[in-house]
A and B are shown apart, each in its own frame.
Chain A
Amino acid sequence: MTAMIEVESLTKSYGSKRGIADVSFRVEEGDVFGFLGPNGAGKTTTIRLLMALLHADAGSARIAGLDCWKQSLEIKRLIGYMPGEPALDPDLTGGQILEYFAHLRGGVDQAYLKQLVERFELDTSRKFRQYSTGNKRKVVLIQAFMHRPRLLVLDEPTSGLDPLNQQEFDRMVKDARDEGRTVFLSSHVLSEVEKTCNRVGIIRDGTLVRIGDVAEVKAIKRYEITITFANVVPADSFKSLDGVLEVEALNHGQGVRLTMQGPADAVIKAAARHPVVSLTSYEPSLEDIFLRYYEGDGPRAAEAHHVA
């Protein structure tokens, strides 16, 4: 396969502030690559280096074989970009913004652009300042897709979109993938990346800690189940069940909080033997997962370095 993105020992620091250090990865053409990391991990810095908005202190980044800094103009013809915090001229309408960027890109297929506007049901007559957060992201998303780029670079693209528009976004990514285009998207939501991407890189504290197929990421995915019972139920009875990693007793023995990995079948069956008042499942944030998975310098951290 041909590499669409090749990053080698990329380093960027902002003086005393954190940046990224020695980041290397490769995204093949046609991949949908998820770039995962908690807030402040270095996702946006990496993306802004790819977009030649920042100049690397060391290392190299290439897109379609072209140097991201030296040949940025040629690269930008290939890319559709969506920044994490879209800021646009507040006095322009959504329609004006799309037409302006269409011109800056040297023209786009107007029929396709109209199709995207319809698809996202965007009211193009409102000023950017008057849009809700979700509608602002729709405008920026449409401008990223409107010239059918070979590579889509999307920084937390679904943040602020409602579930219906998230589904529409998923379909657009799938369409792009079916057409052989490459998608590089960042996120801090594990399940989103799991659903959309085929390959994943995980960055933390400016360092790439894991890269591989999406199935590999499932190895670190955990979730929590909290069960409240009508009576006292011994928490220890859940300890040995399949998928249970940790057990914590709640409400003086009338509830348990379970840290889970894998199917919950055994837990549900065990809980059903008792009168259940409520059962909730919660997927912790990536920060929480990382705090647990990569805490200290223990074996888990060592494993992470080994994999990276």
Chain B
Amino acid sequence: MSLSSVFLKTLRDYRIPILGWGIGMGLVVVSPMASVATLVTTPEARAQLASLAATFAWNADPVAVTTIGGYATFKIGVFIFLIVVWPILAASRMLRGEEDRGSLDLLLSLPRPRLRVALEKLAAMWTALLAMGLLIGLIVFAGGRQFGADFVLGDALLFGLDLALICAVFGGLSLLISQFTQERGPAAGATAGLLLIFIVLDMVHRIAPNSEWISRLSPIYYYNLSKALIPSYGVNPGAMLLLAVAAIGLGGIAVWLFNRRDVGGTVSLPRWLRLPERQASRVLPVGDWSLRSVYARSLSKIAMPTFWWTLGIAGFAGWMVYAVQLLETKMSTLLSGNAGFTQLIKNIGGGDASLNAGLLSAMFVFLPLFLMAFAVTQVIGWAADEQDGRLELVLATPQPRLSVLLGRFAALASATIAIAAITLLVCAGSAAASGLQLNGGNLAAAILGTIPLGLLVAGIGYLASGWLRSAADTGLLSFLLAFWFFVSFIGPELNLPDVTLRLSPFYYYGSPLLNGFQLASILGIIAVGTVALALGAVRFVRKDIGV
């Protein structure tokens, strides 16, 4: 039954993501509900929370943050990038990924119109997103009931629908971009880059006055116009309709373009945008430095993703430094002598409420997360290379297996160090340009201290790929990252025991912006990463390749 049509087959392929992302994201939304229930027990605490939320307004609109639904809505504002990852990846795989693998040729050889095949696949993704939204809505409703929220089932379902719509917009965008790229990777990467830009555009109107017109360019702005979990605020039907129209429009254009182009090719660009015709040649690139070793080749291969991640991470960090400067005066007034605020900031990365450094420390908790996410995206390529047979010829040359693995790791380590170093330069430059006073040593510790965390993920990735195939390796690393972040970000609010908090590397990263370089903790992370890499290397040297 589930294989009787392209729609059902595609939906069947999405069954695990529907459950995984639906339940996972539902729990992410519910988590802050538990914490707010314990945080806002007195009118003073409510007032403190409302004021504190106002200082974080750059991130999300602080509306009714002292209610269960309001606090959850405010707190997950930052998770939007996490939620739309799946539709971006799924949409880039939907047609382009299948063309890459050659599986679409067979499907399109069947007596079935190409347009219908594409539409059925798109409909399956939309259905999957609605199912995820439904699951999220049900879990949020159950969580709300548990913690005494004032929203009803309909509100929770509308919240899930709003999420599904923004996901569908980015899925449509990814599908559209994939019509212009030869591979799915650049399509997903470009869409992720646009997502980052849209997140920043949406933030602009909360930081700078009279800049709402800029934020209106971002789909996330329209997503944020609906706050279904706050009954007094409700949803904005116009904004939701706009998102639906954008999703249908982007998806529709993508499918229309797909129907007109060559399978395996890209949409023809106007002549003036096309690259010059390539002439056949028998020339060999004898002097190309990037072909001289496994390390050089690996470095060259990750150069472009590293560039984009650097742009994103350094841009984010630089923007944070600048944003803190904008909020500094307001922060000084609000945080002075307020123990409640100090405690809350501690929970999300601070250690002391020394104004700009304290706030920046809370923001900088995302830096190691981003760098670790970068490491995940790169290290999973190792398992994929082995699985797809791309290591076979390299290992047939007189290169020791250990050298091949370490060459790849060294390239990833170099890229990680480069990202951190450039981020440090950008932050220092941003602080100097905006006049924000920061301890230079602590800033360096905060940014360079993320490097061991990135390498820890890489080490674990190489270890896991000794046994797991690419998809399972990706799943494990993503789960670990989400688990660690959940433990460190939400754990303190849930009063998780110290022994649980210590399971997360973020715990050992600490608050270097406030406390400086924590040598023992960093050495501990390096030691664990080294052990993981060493075990991964031992496994790789002994294992059957491609089995």
Contact = CB atoms under 8 A, between A and B. Distances in A.
Interface residues of B, number: 36
Q: Is the interface of B mostly helix, strand, loop or mixed?
A: loop
B393 A83 contact: yes
Interface in A16-43: none
Contacts of B389: 83, 85-87
Interface in A111-146: 113-114, 117-118, 122-126, 129, 140, 143
Nearest to A147: B397
A114 B282 contact: yes
Contact of A110 (B286, B297, B393, B394): B286
A91 B297 CA distance: 12
B547 A124 contact: no
B542 A55 contact: yes
A86 B395 CA distance: 13
A146 to B, nearest CB: 10
A114 B392 CA distance: 24
Nearest to A153: B396
A114 B284 contact: yes
Contacts of B260: none
B278 interface: yes
A140 to B, nearest CB: 7
Contacts of B278: 125-126
Contacts of B285: 93, 95-96, 99
Contacts of A105: 397-398
A105 B280 CA distance: 27
B284 A117 contact: yes
Contacts of B478: none
Contacts of A87: 388-390, 392-393
Contact of B398 (A73, A98, A126): A73
Contacts of B283: 95, 124-125
A6 B82 CA distance: 56
Contact-residue size bin, chain A (C-beta under 8 Å from the other chain): 35 or more
B279 interface: yes
A74 B400 CA distance: 10
Interface stretch (B171-179, B288-296, B372-380): B288-296
Nearest to A113: B284
A123 B396 contact: no
Contacts, number: 101
Contacts of A77: 398
B44 interface: no
A74 B283 CA distance: 31
B284 A99 contact: yes
B544 A124 contact: no
A54 B282 contact: no
Contacts of A14: 547
| Residue from A73, A74, A126 with most neighbouring chain B CB atoms (10 Å) | A73
Interface string A70-103: 0001101101010101111111010110111101
B546 interface: yes
Given A53-B545, A53-B546, A124-B282, A143 B292 contact: no
A76 B398 contact: yes
B392 A55 contact: no
Interface in B355-385: none
Contacts of A129: 182
A93 B279 CA distance: 13
Contacts of A272: none
A51 interface: yes
A51 B542 contact: no
B281 A89 contact: no
Nearest to B392: A83
A87 B387 CA distance: 10
A110 B286 CA distance: 9
B301 interface: yes
A214 B545 CA distance: 33
27 contacts: A48-B545, A52-B395, A54-B547, A76-B396, A76-B398, A83-B396, A87-B390, A88-B393, A90-B183, A91-B301, A96-B291, A99-B284, A99-B291, A100-B297, A101-B397, A104-B293, A104-B294, A104-B394, A104-B397, A104-B398, A104-B399, A105-B397, A110-B284, A110-B286, A117-B284, A122-B282, A125-B281
The 3 closest A-B pairs by CB, nearest first: A87-B389, A104-B397, A81-B396
Given A76-B396, A83-B393, A103-B291, 11 more contacts: A73-B398, A83-B396, A85-B389, A86-B389, A88-B390, A90-B183, A101-B397, A104-B397, A113-B284, A114-B284, A125-B279
